[in-house]
Amino acid sequence: MKHFFHNSDESNHAFILLHGMGGRETDLLPVAATLDLSMSVLGIRGDVIEKGSHRYFKRLEDGSFDKEDLQNRTEELIEFIQQKAKNIKHLHLIGYSNGANMAASLLLSKPDLFKSAILFHPSISPHLLGKESLEGKKVLMTAGAIDQQSPPGQTATLKKFFTELGASASLSLTDYGHELMKSEFTVAAEWWEENKLSGEEE
Active site residue ranges: 97, 147, 178
Cβ(77)–Cβ(39) under 8 Å? no
> For residues 56, 72, 88 and 26, what is the CA-based torsion angle, rounded to 10 degrees?
-10
Helix (H, G, I), strand (E, B) or coil at 7: coil
Phi (first) and psi of residue 193, to 5 degrees: -65, -40
As a residue count, the chain comes to 202
**Beta-strand pair 168-174/138-144:** parallel
